[in-house]
Amino acid sequence: MIRTPFSSLYCFAVNELKNINRVRLVSRDPSYKVILIPTYRCGLKCSFCFIQGLERQFPGDMSVDDLRYFIDWLTANRLRTFLVSGGEPAEYVHFPELMRLLDEHAMEIVLASNGLFGQDTSRLFSRKAVRFFLLNYNKEEFTRDQYQRFVANVRELRGRGFPVGLKLNVYKAQIDREILAVAAQFRCSIYMALSCPGYEANTHVSRERLAALSPAIVSFVRECKHRGVVTNFSRPILRCAFSKEDIHFLKPSAVRYRCNPIPVVNPDLSVFSCLNVFKPYGPLKAFPHLKAIRSAIQPYFNHLRQKPLFDHCVQCPLHRSEKCQGGCLAYKQEASDRPVMHV
């Protein structure tokens, strides 16, 4: 196609609009408003895992009674969809009961998994109950057998008509390109998440290194576009880590500079602000409705947003106008707000 000023302007406008829509779907108004973590156990133990340490904090899985309470709480709040994460949800001892309750209450989930579940678990998935699979692509930490199982599971899920996204943790400049082949072959989208500080302050990418990963991200998105693979950012990015041209190029990959917290319900029904900011807010039973949780979380998120990520952010108009919060707020969470806690 010959590029004219008009066609370039048209592409630009289309990408901007698509980006706005994806930001809405991924961040501003996602289908799920709450995240359930029924277990923090996971057999895989990835080195970059941000929940390391929480499996000791929450050694037990969610009880069936608490699971039922959670489902009833959702029903009272007229919420039909939630995200299930972990730990590895498929290792949850009451996973079959969870699937049964979804059926009984006509609810659906987005399932974030390491993708290594066996046939017995896979048989429990129904198209009505699982709206979307988000599978953590982690070839470097898989054994050969695990990788084969992961790919076989993607193939099977796609064959059964499930939409599948592959989550890519970006923590170094050499991004494994094999994920692209899997995504292209099975028509999966890719969700890029820059690795951020975990519960035990285990940081794979220091804040100083965040900008250094930008060229690798741009080049990866370029290859994805070339192969027709859709990419999305799971978290906000730093505006200043990319040139203006790069930002235009990265769209429509849900490019944004602020996030909206989605509260997490832990195995003991206690509540955290979001998946990476582990500030506890007491038991779910203390909150009659979702709005009350959001109101409790908001002041702390506002406080974190106002903290500069770098000293030079203070001079940045995007910081002063609160348009850029400096990536994931996990980088600014105080150690004292990750307390050892029991409900």
Binding site for ligand SF4 (CB under 6 A): 235-236, 238-240, 259, 261, 274-277, 309-310, 312-313, 316, 318-319, 324, 326, 328-330
Task: Tell me whether residue 90 or residue 304 sits nearer to ligand SF4 (CB atom).
Answer: 304
Q: CB of residue 40 vs ligand SF4: minimum separation in angstroms?
A: 16
Distance CA 203, CA 197 (A): 4
Closest CA to 177 of 105, 246, 226: 226
Q: CB of residue 310 vs ligand SF4: minimum separation in angstroms?
A: 6
Q: CB of residue 261 vs ligand SF4: minimum separation in angstroms?
A: 5
Task: Tell me whether residue 110 or residue 330 sits nearer to ligand SF4 (CB atom).
Answer: 330
Task: Tell me whether residue 183 or residue 238 sits nearer to ligand SF4 (CB atom).
Answer: 238
The answer to whether the CB of 327 falls within 8 A of the CB of 236 is yes
Task: Tell me whether residue 107 or residue 309 sits nearer to ligand SF4 (CB atom).
Answer: 309
Q: CB of residue 212 vs ligand SF4: minimum separation in angstroms?
A: 14
- Name the β-bridge partners of 112: 134
Task: Tell me whether residue 89 or residue 327 sits nearer to ligand SF4 (CB atom).
Answer: 327
Q: CB of residue 1 vs ligand SF4: minimum separation in angstroms?
A: 34
Helices and strands, counts by H and E, the chain: 11, 10
Q: CB of residue 76 vs ligand SF4: minimum separation in angstroms?
A: 24
Task: Tell me whether residue 66 or residue 279 sits nearer to ligand SF4 (CB atom).
Answer: 279
Distance CA 253, CA 221 (A): 9
Question: What distances in angstroms separate CA 151 from CA 144, 197, 268, one per listed residue?
Answer: 11, 28, 33
Distance CA 121, CA 112 (A): 14
* Cβ burial, residue 69 (10 Å; 0-12/13-18/19+): middle
Does residue 252 have a cis bond before it (omega within 30 degrees)?
Answer: yes
Q: CB of residue 176 vs ligand SF4: minimum separation in angstroms?
A: 23
Distance CA 135, CA 88 (A): 11
What backbone phi and psi angles, to 5 degrees, belong to 66? -70, -35
Task: Tell me whether residue 9 or residue 201 sits nearer to ligand SF4 (CB atom).
Answer: 201
